[in-house]
Structure formats: C-alpha cells, structure tokens
C-alpha cells in the first residue's frame, strides 16, 4: 500500500508546482518556482501559449469609428508596436492586446531574472 501513497504524494507535489500560491513565495522577494514555471509554460510551449493568448477571443473585425488605437496608446510603451496597433479597431480588442502584451513582457522579465 505504500506505493499508491508515494505516487499520490508525488502527484500532489507536482501539481503544487503548477498552481500559484502565496505560501510558495520567497521571503526575500525572489520569485518562487511556481511563477517561473508558469512563465516558461506560457512562453515556451505551444499549448501554454495558446491557453494564455488573450487575443484568442478578441473581435478584431468589428470597426468602432470612435476608437483610435494610436490615441489610446498615447504616452505608453505600446507605441513601440505599430503593426499590432494598426490592426486594433475597437476598445475590447485593444484591451485584450495590451493585457496579452503586458503578460508576455512580465513573463520575459521573470525568465530573464530567475529562469
């Protein structure tokens, strides 16, 4: 009966690495293994990237004549991405894109610092 318990314990340990937890945070402010693993999953795997893609459900086709992505991005670092801004035609698509970009940049910083 020890083998099933050992397998269950190993499974619980593995799954705990996948879930964010404040209990896993490092006391000195460094990132925990969970944050690093999740950033790598989103950036380095096809499934993780697809799953985290905030643009997946964005409506890129609906034109809102009152919305201007260039004006909305004024004074932000989003201006560094003119091709992407040029295809955003409504506020929900813009919000989905900025959220997606912010997550990708945060993940890159995470992997660059501790990954």
Tens of pLDDT, residue by residue over 34-44, are: 888 899 989 99
Q: What is the C-alpha separation between 112 and 29, in angstroms, rounded?
A: 16
pLDDT score for 104: 94
pLDDT score for 1: 45
6-15 b/e (C-beta count within 10 Å ≥ 16 → b) = eeeeeeeeee
Distance of CA 76 to the CA centre of its chain: 19
CB 88 within 8 A of CB 97: yes
Measured from the Cβ of residue 17, the count of other Cβ atoms closer than 10 Å reads 14
pLDDT score for 19: 58
Residue 101 structural domain: 2-21+30-113
Q: Which residues of the chain have pLDDT under 70?
A: 1-6, 8-29, 114-115
Measured from the Cβ of residue 96, the count of other Cβ atoms closer than 10 Å reads 20
pLDDT score for 115: 42
CA distances from 45 to 16, 26, 40, 76, 115 (A): 19, 26, 8, 29, 15
Domain count, the chain: 1
């Amino acid at each position: 009966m020890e083998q099933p318990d050992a397998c269950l314990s190993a499974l619980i340990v593995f799954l705990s690495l996948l879930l964010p937890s404040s209990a896993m945070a490092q006391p000195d402010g460094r990132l925990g293994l969970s944050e690093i693993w999740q950033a790598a999953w989103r950036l380095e795997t096809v499934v993780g990237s697809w799953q985290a893609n905030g643009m997946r459900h964005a409506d890129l086709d609906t034109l809102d004549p009152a919305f201007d992505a260039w004006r909305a991005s004024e004074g932000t670092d989003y201006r560094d991405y003119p091709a992407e801004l040029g295809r955003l035609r409504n506020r929900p698509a813009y919000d989905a894109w900025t959220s997606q970009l912010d997550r990708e940049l945060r993940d890159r910083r995470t992997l660059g610092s501790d990954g």
